[in-house]
A and B are shown apart, each in its own frame.
Chain A
């Protein structure tokens, strides 16, 4: 239950003082029109930390992590990613995005490119790697998510679980400092969830900083350092998994947990 409240007077000088902080959010607010989606979000993610965000649908979990790489724009508050304050500046947004990997609910693989090209397109065109270098690295990561033998197929020829593993490999090819997962298993058939979670657990064990919106409570228990519960755009509760699941403090958390674990 640590609601971080350290004040940083000037975010632009925070580059050196917060080198162990991957993501910092201070007083972040966001509205969709009149609808207040994110309310006074304060969040710190240390390097190597694994955080699971859960909560009922519409609670703003996805919006929260999408603000980190500016897929959504926040209207108030400060976000600092890897020491770089997130502003309106396009160059800076792109700089942050290069160091932040993201995995989507619906995979969002590029259907006109093969699996291998999906993994190579950003290293080649964003990081200016040679095709050979990019392909070698892509094959390594595809190997790691156990899908290397499908490298020359198109995404449409793969199952959902395979596509999501490719999406993870595609993100890893950019060597991100932090990975955002936006309900990575929600669109999958039940028998495919495990193959994706296994890859994510391995990634966590290798020390990747992760922010993961998910309803997989088993995953939260095994890998998370902290679990964050959100409701109505607010962070309601935040704790280590063991006390979070065994001894939830707020009523809303208790209700939510009883609903998703109690059936």
Chain B
């Protein structure tokens, strides 16, 4: 029995099921409960957004140089404006700021180059970013070479210091974390116990304690002629602390890789490091991107704790500025600014990790 010999022509969907009104009805008002939630949501949104916009934009003061320019009841961004250079560079000497600017430019260029897939020579750029750039950045920021005046690290601060701490921490913590995670899974008892003790020690201690010990206790143990820079000590403490967290994240990823993968690699005659480097780690790290980025984000925010050993990162320098008697009473603006800067960096990392996950997904199931 044949039902229909003529082909039915395509017809547009009924107007009640397409368009904005239909979407609203289907998603926001498709029942009494949903309608109530929608209305409550709109109400809350209204009472949050309107005053915020009024405070931050409509009633805010933007232009000026002193607090007398802040006459309206909204935010006084003049304060941020006046202190902006300090927030970004800390106490870095004004006439040397061009050096920090070059480093900033190089830093963001390299990151963009590595992140944008269309750009070529990725491998060489990565090598330069990890080997060449740190040297260039050190020479420029610290000076003392090529007639550049020395700028000692206690004058470094602001966003520059935050980025420095976070970048060095991330770049250092990832490889150390990988090695620790592999070590913890090792068959060799000594290696394994060392890694377990290391990880559990650093994970069990608060970061503040680590930083405090690095700055106060460490010099007591070191010979007095050995004077390790305070910033370097903070960097080491931060890196080791985060590498312990990283190790546990990566160990979780390693455990999720089926045993057959390593067996297949072994059966092809690969050595341990090739099995790990070519087969197991690429799969584990891919699965661990959310966890790794999560650790990176928490590291980025943890850098604010260096305040307690007298380093002025972005938040520290903002707080210091709040104590300025000429600018008393603008702490809200200061903290909103600091929060916004942190949010921008953390949110970018989060978005990039989502993009990476999608890009690296090769449609495999296990």
**Bound form: Cα–Cα A198–B264 in Å:** 23
**Bound form: Cα–Cα A97–B263 in Å:** 11
From the candidates A90, A155, A167, name the one contacting B364 in the complex (CB within 8 A).
A155
Residue pair B264, A125 in contact (C-beta under 8 Å)? no
Residues of chain A lying within 8 A (CB to CB) of residue B110 = none
Residue pair A156, B263 in contact (C-beta under 8 Å)? no
- 25 A-B pairs in the complex with CB atoms less than 8 angstroms apart: A71-B263, A71-B266, A71-B267, A94-B271, A95-B269, A97-B266, A97-B267, A97-B269, A108-B258, A109-B264, A110-B261, A111-B365, A111-B366, A112-B282, A112-B360, A112-B362, A121-B279, A126-B268, A126-B270, A154-B362, A155-B364, A156-B364, A157-B363, A171-B267, A171-B268
**Bound form: Cα–Cα A248–B304 in Å:** 78
Residues of chain B lying within 8 A (CB to CB) of residue A106 = 260
**Bound form: Cα–Cα A69–B266 in Å:** 9
**Bound form: Cα–Cα A180–B96 in Å:** 68
Binding site secondary structure of chain B = helix
CB distance from B188 to the nearest CB of A (A): 12
Find the B residue at minimum CB distance from A117. B278
Known: A110-B264, A111-B364. Is A125-B274 also a contact (CB below 8 A)?
A: yes
* Interface size, chain A (Cβ < 8 Å): 29
Residues of chain A lying within 8 A (CB to CB) of residue B258 = 108
Interface bin, chain B: 20 to 34
Question: Which residues between 265 and 286 of chain B lie within 8 Å of chain A, taking CB atoms?
Answer: 265-272, 274, 278-279, 282-283, 286
Residue pair A154, B267 in contact (C-beta under 8 Å)? no
**Bound form: Cα–Cα A170–B365 in Å:** 20
Residue pair B269, A111 in contact (C-beta under 8 Å)? no
Residues of chain B lying within 8 A (CB to CB) of residue A71 = 263, 266-267
Residues of A at the B interface (CB closer than 8 Å) are 69, 71, 90, 94-95, 97-98, 100-102, 104, 106, 108-112, 121-122, 125-126, 154-157, 167, 170-171, 174
Known: A104-B260, A108-B261, A126-B274. Is A156-B267 also a contact (CB below 8 A)?
A: no
Residue pair B267, A111 in contact (C-beta under 8 Å)? no
CB distance from A31 to the nearest CB of B (A): 18
Since A94-B270, A100-B267, A112-B283 are in contact, a sample of 20 more A-B pairs with Cβ atoms closer than 8 Å, ordered by chain A residue number, is A69-B267, A71-B263, A97-B268, A97-B269, A101-B267, A104-B263, A104-B264, A109-B264, A112-B282, A112-B364, A121-B279, A122-B269, A122-B270, A155-B364, A156-B363, A156-B365, A170-B268, A171-B267, A174-B268, A174-B269
CB distance from A22 to the nearest CB of B (A): 16
Find the A residue at minimum CB distance from B260. A108
Residues of chain B lying within 8 A (CB to CB) of residue A101 = 267
